[in-house]
A and B are shown apart, each in its own frame.
Chain A
Amino acid sequence: MAGKPKLHYFNGRGRMESIRWLLAAAGVEFEEKCMKTREDLEKLRKDGVLMFQQVPMVEIDGMKLVQTRAIFNYIADKHNLYGKDIKERALIDMYTEGIVDLNELILTRPFLPPEEQEAKLAQIKDKAKNRYFPAFEKVLKSHGQDYLVGNKLSKADILLVELLYNVEELNPGATASFPLLQALKTRISNLPTVKKFLQPGSQRNPPDDEKCREEAKIIFH
């Protein structure tokens, strides 16, 4: 278990941001190696360190892990963010997968052609308001506890709060009619590790913008 995890990605949020959130919330210091050119990606591919020639890739505990879910499940397992038994794991997974579905729409949007982004934004707002936020508000209401599952912090809480920040960036009033989600957001944001991550100077990335899009195009296409 030597050394800090090392994240290989390009300089943007993309698919790596959820991993940064999770590591940060777990209080794990990590390093980042940013790809800047097509050659950087090709080198990683030639080195044989990307199982499916894709990033994110995280070097952790002697492994070179790829695939976002594999990476965050390992981090969750290692740092007790995955519940206490298989049924809690099932609920955590069910909630996480819903979060990931909505977050997928958000993280891919900056990389769409500009003329498609408007329609995508409408879809994100609608799905958040009518499908996902009500589902999670209902869970919190059903047990009245501080966390989604088992009265204990898990990857589901952290990734949901990341999602809430992401949606609010696009739609500032988005959580207004979801008091329990707002409370969860506040509670998680106040955890010392998360508070630190939310401050300037942390490894949290700003929203992916036009510049990121151009960079990603160069690297990935």
Chain B
Amino acid sequence: MAGKPKLHYFNGRGRMESIRWLLAAAGVEFEEKFIETREDWDRIRKDGSLMYQQVPMVEIDGMKLVQTRAIINYIANKHNLYGKDMKERALIDMYVEGVADLNEMTIVFPVHPPGVKETKLSEIKDKAKNRYFPAFEKVLKSHGQDYLVGNKLSKADILLVELLYNVEELDPSAITSFPLLKALKNRISSLPTVKKFLQPGSPRKPYTDKKSVEEMKKTFA
């Protein structure tokens, strides 16, 4: 178990950001190697470290792991963020998959051309308000506990809170009618590790703006 995990990705949120959130929340220091030029990209794909020629890739505990969910699950397992038995794991997975479905829309959103963006924004707002947020509010209401599963912090809480921040960036009033989600967001944000991650100078990446998208297109097209 030597050394810090090393994250290989572009210098932006994309599919790596959830992994950054999870590592940070677990209090794990990590390094980042950014793919910044076409040469970087060609090199990493040629050297055989990407099982499917894709990133994210995380070097951790002697493995070169790819596939976001595989990486997230390993981190959750290693740092006790995956419940206490298989039924808790099932609930955690069910919640995380719903979170990932909505988060996918926010990850892809910056890349859409302006005309499409409006439609997609409506979709995100609608799904958040009518499908996903009510589902998670209902879970929290059903047991009245501080965390989604088993009265203990898990990957589901961390990734849900990341999602809440992501949706609020696009729609500031998104959680106003979800008091338990608001409380969860505050509670998780106040954990020392998460608080640190939310401060300037942390590995958290800024919102992917039009300029970043243009730069990426130029470099990698």
Contact = CB atoms under 8 A, between A and B. Distances in A.
Contact of B93 (A52, A73, A97, A98): A73
B86 A77 contact: yes
B78 interface: yes
Interface of B: 51-53, 61, 63, 65-71, 73-74, 77-78, 86-87, 89-91, 93-94, 96-98, 101, 131-132, 135
Contacts of B74: 86-87, 89-90, 93
Chain A interface extent, by class:
20 to 34
A116 interface: no
Q: What is the predominant secondary structure among interface residues of chain A facing chain B?
A: helix
A51 B86 contact: no
Contacts of A52: 98, 101, 131-132, 135
B117 to A, nearest CB: 23
Looking at B53, B67, B98, which has the most chain A CB atoms within 10 Å of its CB? B67
A97 B69 contact: yes
B135 A97 contact: no
Contact of B87 (A63, A69, A86, A90): A63
7 contacts: A73-B89, A74-B90, A77-B89, A86-B74, A93-B70, A97-B67, A131-B53
Given A86-B78, A94-B67, A65 B90 contact: yes
A69 B95 CA distance: 11
Instruction: List the 3 shortest-distance A-B pairs measured between CB atoms, nearest first.
Output: A67-B97, A97-B67, A93-B70
Given A69-B69, A97-B67, A135 B52 contact: yes
Nearest to B82: A86
Interface string A56-100: 000001010111111101100110000000110111011011100
Contacts of B77: 86, 89-90
Contacts of B98: 51-52, 67
Nearest to A72: B93
B124 to A, nearest CB: 15
A53 interface: yes
Contacts of A94: 51, 65-67, 70
A103 to B, nearest CB: 13
B63 A87 contact: yes
A48 B93 CA distance: 19
Nearest to A94: B70
Given A77-B86, A87-B63, A89-B74, 9 more contacts: A51-B94, A51-B135, A52-B98, A52-B135, A65-B94, A74-B90, A96-B70, A97-B68, A131-B53
A13 B74 CA distance: 30
